[in-house]
């Protein structure tokens, strides 16, 4: 299988090269040249364990990796999750389910993709005899998951940009207290969008990228999105058949990558009825799916910091399909968004989506309400998904992080702070971070000085 850029000006690549490259050289995002049709296949996968289902799905795309090697890569990727089902589906009542995606090494949904991506990188380094330098930006959980996927792996170094003072204290400690020599946590001035903009500029410098063997770990990397498709399929296959027909996945999201993964699965022939995009007060996606207008606003720090985003990079992949796979039109729209910060879609298919928005004032109230009604504790991001559940549908809420990662907000909501032994240890370890301005030069100078 070959992978093409959404902007149409880059050479198609095989799976491993697309993963290693991350951002396409023309500034676009990689997508499969043709999506597989799963309409006659998905039913055969019911009953598979998580790792086996992941293998069956990913092998449709990773056609340049031998089946035995890929199976071992996938097996390793999910061996450190602390629940036997990896992604358990919990029924709160007959029409409300929670898909728990926080049983991985860093207690957040990003582990599902990052553990796989880290092992793919390790395989590539060993196979090609080359080192790799991974660069990413995070609003919270991505950075920790990426770092823990590459801890101590030979031939790798990882550089994670994050907005200084705008991630939770525990999220920062997960990135800065590893003690690993190949990890560099870069605390930058500004917002996540500033970090992401710098990252895209750096990856657009082909000479620098090639010289330093850079690869992207953000959800601009196609392997991230494909890995996330799997838990939608795993959860949907566990629903009773009558529930499948009314299922709506309710997805806390800021960068659109998480909900895009589910929508791509639907495009491959899995008949998932729909998705609800649940945003915090940084509501660019809510406004997009309720008005058809994409308008960038200023980022407001919130109690759900991983969604403090106003430039949803994965929207470009969705846009590619919305525009009939017209790469020239994608370039036109993305240029307009970059220039003016706004684009109004005249013919925008929102039929698979609904949307909701949650403010900081509402988050503690929702946490308390969910606890009272179901006896179930949710983190601030997952709380946003509980803002509006449709009574006519079967809601499958994606629980994107453990509530133990946000003890202050949970404490405010229910009067007690949850704890996790793994996180308690972090408080005793020294923080090692590197403060930098959000400038391309400062970041590239640092990367060049520490690249392997």
Active site residues per annotation: 110
Half-sphere exposure of 25 (CA within 13 A, CB side): 11
DSSP codes of every residue in 56-112: HHHTTT-TTS-HHHHHHHHHHHTTT-SSTTSS-EEEEETTEEEEE---STTSBTHHH
Determine the Cα–Cα distance for residues 423 and 145; give it in Å rounded to an integer.
14
Determine the Cα–Cα distance for residues 411 and 76; give it in Å rounded to an integer.
36
- Using DSSP, how many helices (H) and how many strands (E) does the chain show? 19, 15
Determine the Cα–Cα distance for residues 155 and 452; give it in Å rounded to an integer.
7
**Torsion from C-alpha of 178, 130, 203, 8, nearest 10 degrees:** -130
Looking only at the bridges linking them, the beta strands covering 89-93 and 96-100 are antiparallel
Distances (CA, A) of 223 to 172, 327, 411: 25, 21, 36
Q: Which residues pair with 248 in a beta bridge?
A: 274, 395
Strands in 191-292 per DSSP E:
214-216, 247-252, 274-279
Which tokens is 295 given? 């308008």
Tell me whether residue 37 is exposed, middle or buried, using C-beta atoms within 10 angstroms of its C-beta: 0 to 12, 13 to 18, 19 or more.
exposed
């Amino acid at each position: 299988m070959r992978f093409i850029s959404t902007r149409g000006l880059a050479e198609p690549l095989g799976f491993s090269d697309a993963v290693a490259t991350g951002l396409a050289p023309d500034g676009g995002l990689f997508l499969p040249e043709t999506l597989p049709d799963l309409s006659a296949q998905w039913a055969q996968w019911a009953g598979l364990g998580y790792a086996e289902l992941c293998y069956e799905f990913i092998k449709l795309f990773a056609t340049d990796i031998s089946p035995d090697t890929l199976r071992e890569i996938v097996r390793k990727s999910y061996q450190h999750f602390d629940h036997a089902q990896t992604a358990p589906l919990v029924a709160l009542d007959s029409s409300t389910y929670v898909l728990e995606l926080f049983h991985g090494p860093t207690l957040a949904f990003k582990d599902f993709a990052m553990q796989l991506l880290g092992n793919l990188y390790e395989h590539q380094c060993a196979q090609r005899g080359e080192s790799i330098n991974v660069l990413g930006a995070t609003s919270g959980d991505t950075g920790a998951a990426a770092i823990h996927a590459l801890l101590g792996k030979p031939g790798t170094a990882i550089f994670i940009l994050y907005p200084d003072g705008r991630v939770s204290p525990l999220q920062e400690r997960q990135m800065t207290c590893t003690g690993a020599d190949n990890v560099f946590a870069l605390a930058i001035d500004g917002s996540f969008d500033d970090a992401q903009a710098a990252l895209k500029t750096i990856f657009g410098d082909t000479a620098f990228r090639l010289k330093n063997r850079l690869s992207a770990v953000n959800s601009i990397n196609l392997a991230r999105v494909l890995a996330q498709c799997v838990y939608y399929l795993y959860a949907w296959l566990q629903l009773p058949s009558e529930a499948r027909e009314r299922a709506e996945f309710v997805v806390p999201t800021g960068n659109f990558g998480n909900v895009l993964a589910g929508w791509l699965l639907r495009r491959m022939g899995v008949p998932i009825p729909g998705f609800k995009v649940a945003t915090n007060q940084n509501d660019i996606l809510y406004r997009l799916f309720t008005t058809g207008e994409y308008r960038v606003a200023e980022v407001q720090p919130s109690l759900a910091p991983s969604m403090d985003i106003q430039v949803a990079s994965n929207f470009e992949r969705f846009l590619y399909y919305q525009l009939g796979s017209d790469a020239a039109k994608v370039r036109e729209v993305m240029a307009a968004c970059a220039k003016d910060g706004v684009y109004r879609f005249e013919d925008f298919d929102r039929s698979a989506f609904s949307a909701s928005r949650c403010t900081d004032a509402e988050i503690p109230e929702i946490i308390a309400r969910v606890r009272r009604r179901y006896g179930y504790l949710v983190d601030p991001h997952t709380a946003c998904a509980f803002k509006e559940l449709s009574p006519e549908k079967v809601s499958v809420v994606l629980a994107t992080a453990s509530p133990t990662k946000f003890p202050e907000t949970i404490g405010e909501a229910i009067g007690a702070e949850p704890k996790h032994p793994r996180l308690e240890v972090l408080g005793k370890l020294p923080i090692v971070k590197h403060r930098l301005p959000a400038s391309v030069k400062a970041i590239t100078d640092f990367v060049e000085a520490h690249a392997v």
